[in-house]
Amino acid sequence: MSSSVYVAGVGVISAIGNNVAEHLEAFKREEAGMGDITMMDTIYRKKLPVAEVKLNNDQLVEITGLPSETSRTALLSLIAAKEALADAAIPGFESLRTGFVSANSVGGMDKSENFFVDFLADNSKGKLRNIFDHECGSKTEIVADQLGITDYMTTISTACSSSANAIFYGARLIKNDMLDVVIAGGADVLTKFTLNGFNTLMILDAAFCKPFDENREGLNLGEGAGYLVLVSDKVANTLNKPLYCKISGYNNSNDAYHQTASSPDGTGSYLAMRGALKKSGLQPSDIDYINLHGTGTPNNDSAEGTAIKRIFDPECPPMSSTKSFTGHTLAASGAIEAVFSVLAIKHKVIYPNLRFETPMNGLELIPEKRFLTGQRVNHVMSNSFGFGGNCTSLIFSGI
């Protein structure tokens, strides 16, 4: 059994960058990725802002070398996973017990939607190869094959906590000596189904979102992918480059309150954070930064804020929602924000919560509003809370 699980590599793609370096520059510039819809044919163009990756499918196909009919989900997933694996630079990778634990919620729905536009107009049209691998697990298989991983692969789909749970699960596989290396994270892309569904729930903001602000009106949907390369003690000792940090705490809880809403008192959020702290052996005062789930919806932010006050009051650590940059990337959000959390430890930075102006009534929580450098950042908590009350908190610690 490995005594610790370390982060050896990171990779990310989102609306603010196509790799890790570009993300750090976007944070420094305090430049968000939201804008008008350009890649979907929808009635909500010019009406609802989204956070699109700034590469079209043809460009992604050229970068990855995958076939043109490959879903955008798999294309983004492969780019981020390959960056993470290259970053880890693990000697003798092929001889190790390796796994790929990946999350998504839409699978190949982007391709399916395009197929049915033609098919419904004329049943003789449409290419069936564009929908045969619609389900979520096929995206994991495509990327695992490209990475050369055959020992273990699985897909997790628990809404917005999906890729945080993938990291959680990957850490446990290593901790229990089942694998030596796990590439864990997830990807999700914008689809009309998702946009229409969230709009029906009346939780989308027609302006750029402002998480944790009293006058917040909803979230902006985003897309992207993020992965961590997790390694055991044995593998960590063979690396020729410094490790980023270790994953010291994790917990999943479920308040079972509602299909899509968080419990008003933040029960699930509270249990997830408390459980992660207990697992890590840390006290609330040890946490140097919280990467908030912070979607910008009235319900989510008040529930998360209530739970944070319950645990950390009266000395709440610096906190912010990076969804104010990337939008809400759904199943990918936990992993993308885990990458940000790891980078916060490495570079000693705290990210701003863009567009915050007014604290929430009764909570008075004030997120960081500017990009801060030279900070004491040794322990970071990252929150990811999904539909159905599926709540996960991860804690990363410097080494």
Q: Within a 10 A sphere around the Cβ of 43, how many other Cβ atoms?
A: 11
pLDDT of 259 reads: 66
Count of beta carbons in the 10 Å neighbourhood of residue 114: 18
How much is the pLDDT for 338? 98
CB 297 within 8 A of CB 216: yes
List Cβ neighbours of 302 (8 Å cut-off, separation of 6 or more). 264, 266, 360, 363
Distance CA 209, CA 34 (A): 9
Say what the pLDDT of residue 230 is: 98
Q: State the pLDDT at residue 256.
A: 79
User: Hey, is 374 helix, strand or coil?
Assistant: coil
Task: Give the C-alpha separation, 114 to 65, whole Å.
Answer: 21
Q: Would you state the pLDDT for residue 2?
A: 63
| 136 given a catalytic annotation | no
Provide the pLDDT for residue 221: 98
In sequence order, what are the residues at sequence separation of 6 or more whose Cβ sits closer than 8 angstroms to the Cβ of residue 134?
Answer: 107, 108, 109, 111, 112
CA distance linking residue 331 with residue 185, whole number of Å = 9
pLDDT in single tens digits along all 399 residues of the chain = 668 999 999 999 999 999 999 999 999 999 999 999 999 999 999 999 999 999 999 999 999 999 998 999 999 999 999 999 999 999 999 999 999 999 999 999 998 888 888 888 888 887 777 777 788 999 999 999 999 999 999 999 998 999 999 999 999 999 999 999 999 999 999 999 999 999 999 999 999 999 999 999 999 999 999 999 999 999 999 999 999 999 999 999 988 766 666 777 889 999 999 999 999 999 999 999 999 999 999 999 999 999 999 999 999 999 999 999 999 999 999 999 999 999 999 999 999 999 999 999 999 899 999 999 999 999 999 999 987 779 999 999 999
347 catalytic per annotation? no
Name all domains of the chain by residue range, CATH numbers in brackets. Answer: 6-236 (3.40.47.10), 245-397 (3.40.47.10)
CB under 8 Å to 61, separation ≥6 — which residues?
A: 67, 68, 70, 75
Calpha distance 370→384 (Å, rounded): 22
- The pair phi, psi for residue 10, each rounded to 5°, is -140, 150
**What local confidence, expressed as pLDDT, does residue 262 receive?**
73
Catalytic annotation present for 316 = no
Catalytic residue among 23, 136, 245, 328: 328
Q: Rounded CA gap, 324 and 321, in Å?
A: 6
CA 337 to chain CA centroid, Å, is 5
Residue 160, SS3?
Answer: helix
pLDDT confidence of residue 386: 83
Catalytic residue among 23, 136, 160, 316: 160
Query: Is residue 188 a contact partner of residue 223, using CB atoms and an 8 Å limit?
Result: yes
pLDDT at 260: 61
What does each C-alpha distance from 31 to 14, 213, 330, 352 come to in angstroms? 13, 19, 20, 10
Name the catalytic one among 23, 209, 245, 293. Answer: 293
